[in-house]
Structure 1
Amino acid sequence: MTSKLVHSLRITVTALATAVAAILLVAAPASAHDNLLESDPSAGATVTSLDAVSMTFSGELIDFEQTSFAQVQGPDGLYYETSCSTIEFNVLTTPVALGDAGTYTVVWNAVSSDGHPISESFTFEYAPDASTQAALGWDLPACGSGEARVQPEAVPTATATPPGSEAISPAPAETSGAESSGAQSSTGGDLVVVLSIAAGVIVIAASVIGIVWLGRARKRRSE
């Protein structure tokens, strides 16, 4: 009875050990995922100037067609990355040109050395000097947007009016030679009509006078 009990205990302990080993083997790869060690600026920090956001991970990152990146979004909802992120071993760097003061959010995605993607976000405060000129934000992130993204606050440069060039009322249009010639032709045509009518009246009057004169001459001959 005692030997059977001991044998059963041995089987039970062996089974438990096997189960624990299997659990540890499954959990080992999961615990091997890389993680973010530090960032510049750090979460919750306040900066007065910033040219780039950098993040250091526990292992070398893998970049499959720019799947490791960071997006920096300002308090106005616009994006302030000037180009895509770059990776050097375990450091991911994103160049930026920040706009107005306020809270900025960094959303990042990275593929760890074991091929597993990880992503998180954090915020920092931007408090530039009053003389610092704010950059214009973009409607889309720098990476993956190509030439599709635009700066909503950008205003097209208006064409400047040259000095001394005031609005001048257009001078009255001069009568062209064709119009002048047409007017002269019209006047000449009217004169021809008047002369023709006068000539007709003269001819008719001469005819009447001739008829009267012939009538009187015949009457005298008959007497």
Structure 2
Amino acid sequence: MNRICFPEKRVYIMRDHNWAYYAWDIAKSLKYINKESSLIHVDAHLDDLFDQLEIVDNGWDTVDSLQDSHDYASKTAIDEFLAPAFAKGLFNNIIFLSNENVPDAFHEGNQTIMGREYRGAQFTSFSAFKSQIESGKLNSLLKGRTKVLDLDLDYFNLGTHMYSGQILKSDNEIVEILTYLKNYPWDFITVAQSPEFCGDDDAAKHIYNLFCSVFDLNIEDATYW
């Protein structure tokens, strides 16, 4: 699909997740978010954040304009956008809701990503994430900050490998999670369809339709970005 957005709702949708980098720069230019923002990354994958402790010579540190950001996003791999965005300072911290576990090596003392100290949290279950939010235990990362939801629809497919087939959560569970996310006070939302990781195009379309229904999005109101 083409990249579309719903400006009034501050929702930016893309097929491939690397374009989130550009969307976040747009949000920063529109003052929807600032350098103190918190990113909540809901995804079947960690998107290589902890594998990319050092990135050199790929141009991430020379992105100075929206055109630069567009060009940079267009040449990055689908899972190589998160570390540069954090290193650049688009976010103060990152909270993960992901089926993947953070590598043990990171817990053992490597607390910097591309020269910047990592702050955040990580959850492998929605119930744990919800509990921590509602108990106030994440307030130190969230309170008083602009907040960005970064949702990859492949989160709802339990088969996390490319073309692994459809092992989707039930529609009731998907709608429950989406409804909870919708009702949180976000300042900006990015959504990736990732059909290859949702199982196939039909699975991605099904999840996407549920997402649009829950978030009250009408395709006729969308514009390209």
TM-score interval, smaller chain: under 0.3
TM, length-normalised to structure 2: 0.19
TM, length-normalised to structure 1: 0.19
Between structures 1 and 2, the one with greater helix share: 2
Q: Which has the higher contact order (CA 8 A, sep 6+)?
A: 2
